[in-house]
Structure 1
Amino acid sequence: MSSPEREFTFRRPTSVAGVPRPEFPTPSSVPGSAFTFRFPPPSGPGRASGKAKEDDRLCEDCAKLDLEQSLASAFALYEGARRGTISRLLGVYRRASGPAYLKDFYHVASLGDRLSRETNNCKLCTFLASTTAEPKTRGTKYKLLAFCSSESYLFEAARRDGRGSLVRRQGWDALEHNVFMAVVPEDPLVPKTAIPLRWLETGLPRNGAIYRLTQPRSADESRIVLPRGLRPKADFVLMRTWLDCCRGSHDFCKPRKPAGATLRGFRVIDCESFAPLVEERPWSERYVALSYVWGPSTEKWPQTVLDAVEVTRRLGERYLWVDRLCIDQTNEDEKRFLFSKMNLIYEGAEFTIIGAAGDARTGLPGVTMRQRKPQPRVELDRPTRRSQDANAGSSAQPDPDPGLELVGVPLEEYEREASDERGWLDTHRHGLRSGLALDMGELMRDQELMDKYDIPDEHLQLFQDLADDFGHTIENFLEIQKELALRMGIPLKEMVPYLQGRAAGRGARGEGSNGGASLPPAASIPERPVTSPSKPCKPLPPSRVEGKTILVSSMQEPRVTIRNSEWATRGWTYQEGVLSKRRLVFTEEQVYWECSGMALNETLDLHPSIVQAEPRAPMPDYMLSGIFEGDMHRVPELQYGFQPGKREEMGQSVQKLDGHIRAYTSRKLTNPGDSLNAFLGVAAHYSDESGLSLLLGIPVWAGLFGDGKPGLQHTFALSISGWMHSARRIADGAEMYVASPARREKFPSWTWAGWQGTATFSESDASSAGEAGGGEEQDDDEAADVDYRDFFMALTSEQWVSSIDKIWSAEMMLHDAGGTEATLLTGRAPVSSTGDPNMRWLLTIRKPLVLRHMYLMHSVNEWEWRRLMGKSVRIHLSVPMTEAALTAGHKTGDLVTVLVFASTVPFIWNGVARFLILRRTDDGGGRWERIGRLTLILEEWMMDKYGDTKKMLDDLPVKSFGKDIILV
């Protein structure tokens, strides 16, 4: 999407929506603060005499930087923008065929290639180089930018309501922002003041931010975030503070265990005994759990366990649960029982210690023997004299360009870089994928209000904001405004233009002018400032040491470090992290805390109003909150806004379950037979006989649909044909994807548990996960298959179930190989007592309908890959196979594609037919295994001509197979 070239101006509007705005001081308006970051070289005048120490040397370029002044100028830019006194649109743009980028950020300095040079004795260059995770190949160029903390990935994740509108933050204007810096790779197609579109969510967490070390937080310091300097040892006082804060504020994080409750085989380590001792205790006792990688260690008490005992003691707890010591590894019956109770064990712990730095042998960094990586830090002397600014020249020349003060580059250069850029469609805002699910009920209500009061959408949004401010419902507020408009003699739809005209009149002719409805309205309704313009300005806090500028790195975001750790690759540790309500994670660099109400680490000191949520309430919605709950996002460490205790919509629950399956199946298991055992704890959350449940890993709706009909048959068919493996396209533009995961013969081929490989129910995740190269990501909607979660959401809703007016699924029966146990998956068959994971199960499709043939025809549409008997087709295979081999296999009878589900797609009105691609097994018993899925898209015009489900089915290119199909 393109927009006309825009002229860049930093204007200072006098009012927004009629509210006068005071001027906010910029650096040049403060006496003695002329802008410059250039200083004498190390050997030039103004340096102290004598030879500089080797470890205190600055290169000529770094010696010219005035970082204090740069941070002050950046603060002025962002504070003015927050108050609305400086117009700064954080938009998305693109130049020529280059990457999409965000601007405008404060440019501190161009670093050239000096960070990538092999020999560089400059201590500032060395420090800056340590804050970049990218490979520093020779010649790579970088720049140093300053950012506003309230726009960083930690806080600026835009939340949207059910209407798709941005949710306004509550209480945000009470906090002061901070400024941090970061090293960003240079790109000739990205302006100096810009960053690649998703860099705040990907590059910054990977690299870490650079903060100026300031005085410790005082009682009246309302800064959103301040940096902390780390010590070699972990800060147990801080950890205890986190724990106490959670216990005092987060009722939803407390373990729920009845007094005196017991659990068969439950044992703990007594950490207060002279030598740690394993003993049986009631499950109701307070205890801490440990999650770690076993590794090759054969010691009974490896170092990581000993360090966990020390952490347990230091944080005031007595008992510790560790699987290798507290489960009798020789008792198979006890092991199976406790495996099925992992949800109780980890949910019941006061908190879980997670060792995300090595395995059982290595210990927890910063606790006893294991050292942790030091925090990058540099201390700079503040120059006492400034050189003349290069732009100022002699005293006879004019002052530096004011644009230099606001973005750090001359205005001419800024305009030159912006001359060929175009606005770019930003569907995710800052690149974040919001996982937005529109509330159709709210949208319909809004439409009813707009129709009733004859007002446009943008006016309704403004009235909604005002209603929230005054504590009214939108309906009540509109009635008040309607009465007010009636008394003024104008229609309600002219109220907003009238008020804008009044505001424009005051701005043009003075506050006393008589503006009327005839005045020209403002071009648009301006966005309300984040901070009130009348609020006194509070400057950046002073440096930790007077006369020094001390810079520290916040280090790699712990959520990224954890994701890249060995711990995060293991199948068993997945549910240990997910099921725990409080997690204390030890990485190689620092300690990270995450519970259902907050996510904190040692290097960043967050304001108490962010950390200490109201009792029984989750953290504020602008605080990103962790990696362990849901795994819903493409960049999972950016999850945010846990809602403990809040009833989720069915679509959200299904999407979270899909995320859990996708994340879990991407991990490794030493024993393939644990494929379901290591997921039983997560599955226990979805074991509702009257709702969402799992059958051998397959999500089903075990209760009744919104229309009162049983849901098991349709949802089982939907799910076994809905999951697929992350795979690669067989060719550019092809809608055939091929993966090569290993089979786990102990489990059925029709469930993801029967394969070793990443499985997902999301078409976009399955296809993009295997794409080669980085490049710019496409919008999910462009290539996504029908939305799996929408089926569950619509079918279980009384309001929307009728939108699926045509639905069919195959009749299937689950039975063991010996024929002693069988369940027909129809009606309200019990799910929790069906499908013992320790047995081998077969699935019989009764009276199957199969594709007539597999001849894929080229489409007449350039944008389309293939059609199958006139219908658009997509194919996902879990085994390596070419298009020709697929066709040949169907011709010989070694392959068959069976229909299992067909339906109207909710909210879209297209239709979908889902098939399983089966391969004949070698057992000689005429059995088949699932090796993929095929989807046919039934376009809306096709669905319109079908009067009922039978006519939809009759139009599909299928035939009777003639006998039942048995899947292994």
Structure 2
Amino acid sequence: MDGTYRRWDRYCEAHPQTPTISGTPPGAQDLCRRCRGLRRGISDSLARLKKIENDYKSKGSNWEVAVLGTPATWDPSHCALCYLFMTIHNNKLAEHDANTPYTLRAFRAYRATGLAVLPTPSLDTLEEDCASSGFISRAVTKADSSVGHHSVGLVGKYVDFPFVQSWIERGGMTDIREWDGLSLKDNRHFKLIDCSTRRIVKPPEGCPYATLSYVWGRSGESVPDGDRLPKQLPRVIEDALTVAKKVGIPYLWVDRYCISQTNLVEKAAQIKKMGPIYSSASLTIFAAAGNGADHGLPGVSRKRDPSRQPCAKVGKHLLTWTMPDGPALVLKSTWNTRAWTYQEMVFSGSRLIFTDLQVYMEQRGNVFRAEAWGEYPFSNIGRIDTHTSLTSPFREIYKLNEYSRRQLSFSSDVIQAMQGLFNVMARAKVLYQYMGVLLPAVIAQEDAPSDDGALQYSFLWFHIATSTRRPGFPSWSWAGWSGEVAYLELRGVQHWYHPTFQAENMDASVELANGTLVPWEEFRRLIVADRLPPLSNFLQLDASTVSLHFEWLDHPPRHSWAYAPVVASRAGLFVKCHPSYAIYSPVRLCGPVDDGPRRIKELCASAHDALVLGQLAYYRWVREETNIYDNPFADLCVVVLAKRTGGGTGDDAVVERIGFVNLAQRVWDDECERIRAETPDKEYPCFLRRLDLTRARTRIRLG
């Protein structure tokens, strides 16, 4: 995921609703006095753009057309151009208010020319800004060869299916993803809906079919009558059947009808098969509009509001809003907030995405076609990263961060909603999971040592922000908490001889539901074979611990000399790593941090035991290669523990994870400065002195 997309995504989480302009749009020829004064400049700029349409050497050219002032000075109720400006302002994916000054700039971009309404200053490049909020372009009533380059089509009340089918005929159904060792051939419970007969059938092998990705919402449960669909279907499913037939696909897969909701064994097996189900589909239909299944697919059975694409007549030119980039629209959708839909997007190759404004199509993660744009005019800007190579564990680990920000109607589904992706990772021997935590592929190696470091690595996650405890799952797993999580970005996680993380020795056993203890060396084979017995939430560990004291700092030091997941710059809890030096490491607490001075006082009043996971070493770039230091001063990764209330006493006492810290084990002093001064510039010794922490060997029952 690129930085632009990440920032847009954060903004949409905080601002889920796009502001609307009240009242009826003015007529296209209605212009206020100021905008009438802009006509000459706009017409001259459009003529100048016309001359460089096919001059690719002029890519990147842009110039100021007019100063627009602030939105507070515009008159969208009576002026068509002001209405266009305000529409674009309301769709900005950044913090711009009515007092933000704007300019109108003409531009020649990758495959487009137009007029950009830009805030001053802008957080994005011109192309990024236009992708996120749209821009002004010349309008044509029907998409043609020029659309997507220098003019934009007016989107009708209903979807133009011949136009959409032409996309598919140009390669839209050829992007079927191949997954190592996964296919539908071994899926004996696989069923599809025959779109013509509306029966749920066992399909012919290799038949083309579409899948549907949607938000269930609160629509009433409709149960199939044997192998027949119910007479009353949620609008989104009825519309999806129509779409499949319109584009020539005979079968449709919908989870609530093609997966048994009563046979729990069959249901669990099908949830694991989400990978091949979605990746083998000819097309996935995404309902990224509305809040539930009854909203339907805009433009299929329900009319779209044509006033949502306003126009303005300037001289001989009819100008209109291009509407935002499709992925920017998806970011604002309820669909994008739901946990179950995440892996559906990842697995799908060819995607037909319905938003409230228009339909667009993606192939291999890139916009391929859109209703307003025949051929999409921008390069890969702000695109959602759904690539799954199954060769890089780092890319797969990052998906957990994206997934953890999404919402579940039932918290018990937290692992199930990612089970298809977990299953694909395991079959490819990239990563494994146990209770949600990610385990490196070393556990599948027969010659791996008994203490392979995989369990220690699986604990290297931390919360980005406030979290809450999720019942039914262990505290040592991210699944035991509701909130955004991330793993430390370590290199070489596929190898037990981890070059940047050296695991601390730990003897571990897994406690089964019947109380039996299974040594980790034996249990990891059960994970790889996917033959897990009924489990409890407990691990029994014999491991190293250190004692920590917390301090609340209103103004933490700028540098902590610790590799912190995110360098803290605001008030929070810290661990002071040495009594004589102001060396602090931020505490990444599970649960709320700022819920009152009483809890803060309690946390700071006594010492906390912390489970030692291992050392995080350093590396540096030399030319294009990474050299790893044999560094005795690496940070110590630890998990903060606390006794559970009512969790027993003595050896039966249960402790829970309540935080994560990277402890700085080094300090800079005068002697270090002397060594640095005497070292040639091209030498990179470790200058920092080690700070010793007293370890103790402790038996822990972690739940």
1:672 aligns to 2:411 (yes or no): yes
State the partner residue of 1:143. Answer: 103
The question of 1:356 aligning with 2:94 is answered no
Change beyond 3 A, Cα 1:344–1:839: farther
**Hey, what does 1:819 align to over in structure 2?**
515
User: Counterparts of 1:259 and 1:761 in 2: how far apart (Å)?
Assistant: 30
Q: What does the per-residue CA deviation read over 1:268-301, in whole Å, with 9 as the maximum and x for residues that have no partner? A: 211112xx22223356432211111111111531
Please list every run of 5 or more consecutive structure 1 residues that lacks an aligned counterpart in the other structure: 1-52, 85-89, 91-103, 151-176, 188-194, 383-547, 612-621, 631-643, 728-738, 763-787, 946-951
Alpha-carbon separation, structure 1, partners of 2:658 and 2:456: 16
Equivalent in the alignment of 1:724: 462
Residue 789 of structure 1 aligns with which residue? 490
Specify whether residues 835 and 843 from structure 1 end up closer, same or farther in structure 2 by C-alpha distance, changes over 3 A only: farther
Partner of 1:905: 618
By how many angstroms is 1:747 displaced?
Answer: 1.3
Larger Rg: 1
Question: What does residue 182 of structure 1 align with?
Answer: 116
Which digits, 9 at most, give the CA deviation of each residue in 1:172-219, with x for residues without a partner? xxxxx532112123x4xxxxxxx5242547643332121123698888
Equivalent residues in 2 for 1:733-748, closer than 5 Å: 739=466, 741-748=467-474
Map 1:362-441 → 2, pairs under 5 A: 362-372=295-305, 374-380=307-313, 382=315
For 1:760 and 1:260, how far apart are their aligned partners in 2?
32
CA contact (8 A) 1:365 1:371 kept: yes
Q: What amino acid is the match of 1:578?
A: V
Tell me which residue corresponds to 2:422: 683
Cα separation, 1, equivalents of 2:691 and 2:530: 35
Residues 282, 217 of structure 1: CA spacing in aligned structure 2 closer, same or farther, 3 A cutoff? closer
Task: Give per-residue Cα distances to partners, 1:282-332, cap 9 Å, x unaligned.
Answer: 564322111111111115311111110000100101111111122221222
* 1:964 partner SS: strand
In structure 2, give the amino acid aligned to 1:324. Answer: R
Provide the rounded CA distance (Å) in 1 between the counterparts of 2:35 and 2:67: 10
Going from structure 1 to structure 2, the CA distance change for 1:119 and 1:628 (only over 3 Å counts) comes to closer
Show the counterpart of 1:844. 540
**Any idea what the Cα deviations from partners look like across 1:462-495, whole Å, max 9, x if unmatched?**
xxxxxxxxxxxxxxxxxxxxxxxxxxxxxxxxxx
C-alpha contact 1:683 1:694 (8 A) present in aligned 2 = yes
Match of 2:511, SS?
A: strand
Cα offsets for 1:525-575 (capped at 9, x unmatched): xxxxxxxxxxxxxxxxxxxxxxx2121211122212211111111111111
| Structure 1 counterpart of 2:275 | 343
Q: Report the equivalent of 2:319.
A: 551
Higher RCO (C-alpha under 8 Å, 6+ residues apart): 1
1:915 is aligned to 2:684: no
* 1:287 counterpart letter in structure 2: Y
Matched to 2:508, the amino acid is: M
Higher strand share: 2
1:123 to 80, 96, 108: 80
Report the AA paired with residue 472 of structure 2. Answer: K
Distance 2:373 2:451 in 1: 48
* Match of residue 433, structure 2, among 685, 691, 694: 694
Provide the C-alpha distance between the structure 2 equivalents of 1:837 and 1:82, rounded to a whole number of angstroms. 64
Q: How does 1:168-179 map to 2 (within 5 A)?
A: 177-179=111-113
Q: CA deviation at 1:591?
A: 0.6
**Kept in 2: contact 1:919–1:930 (CA 8 A):** yes
**What SS does structure 2 have at the residue aligned with 1:700?**
strand
Aligned residue for 2:527, secondary structure, equals coil
Matched position secondary structure for 1:605: coil
Secondary structure class of the residue paired with 1:603: coil
Query: RMSD between aligned alpha carbons?
Result: 4.1
Please tell me the residue identity of whatever aligns with 2:209.
Y
**Which residue, 923, 930, 936 being the options, matches 2:657?**
930
Of 106-115 and 744-753, more deviation after overlay is shown by 106-115
Give the structure 1 partner of residue 46 of structure 2: 71
**Distance (Å, rounded) in 2 between the aligned partners of 1:886 and 1:54:** 60
The amino acid across from 2:194 in the alignment is D
Q: 1:876 aligns with which of 579, 588, 595?
A: 588
Q: Which residue pairs with 2:134 in the alignment? A: 208
Matching of residue 332 in structure 1 with residue 264 in structure 2: yes
**Contact 2:191-2:200 at 8 Å conserved across structures:** yes
**2: CA distance, partners of 1:318 / 1:746:** 42
Whether the 8 Å contact between 1:873 and 1:934 is mirrored in structure 2 is yes
Distance 2:404 2:184 in 1: 37
Q: 1:604 aligns with which of 370, 373, 394?
A: 373
Give the letter aligned to residue 351 of structure 2: R
**What corresponds to 1:293 in structure 2?**
215
The aligned residue for residue 568 of structure 2 is none
Counterpart residue identity of residue 899, structure 1:
V
Q: Which residue of 2 aligns with 1:575?
A: 343
Quote the offset at 1:715 in angstroms: 3.6
Contact 1:375 1:552 in 2 (8 A): no
2:64 maps to amino acid: H
Distance change (3 Å), C-alpha of 1:757 and 1:661: same
**1:727-782 per-position Cα deviation (integer Å, ceiling 9, x unaligned):** 2xxxxxxxxxxx2x2222211111111111111125xxxxxxxxxxxxxxxxxxxx
Q: Is the 8 A contact 1:117 1:138 kept in 2?
A: no
| Offset of residue 244 of structure 1 | 2.4
- Give yes or no for contact 1:714–1:808 (8 Å, CA) kept in 2: yes
Q: 1:536-547 residue pairs with structure 2 within 5 A?
A: none
Structure-2 change in CA distance of 1:110 and 1:812 (3 Å)? same
Q: SS in structure 1 opposite 2:81?
A: helix
2:331: which partner in 1?
563
What are the superposed Cα offsets for residues 118-177 of structure 1, whole Å, 9 maximum, x if unpaired? 575222222332232159966654321122222xxxxxxxxxxxxxxxxxxxxxxxxxx5
User: What CA distance in whole angstroms lies between the structure 2 residues aligned with 1:857 and 1:317?
Assistant: 61
CA distance in 2, matches of 1:719, 1:257: 25
- SS of the equivalent of 1:239 reads helix
Relative to 1, partners in 2 of residues 1:326 and 1:809: Cα closer, same or farther, differing over 3 Å? Answer: same
* More divergent stretch after superposition (837-846 vs 327-336): 837-846
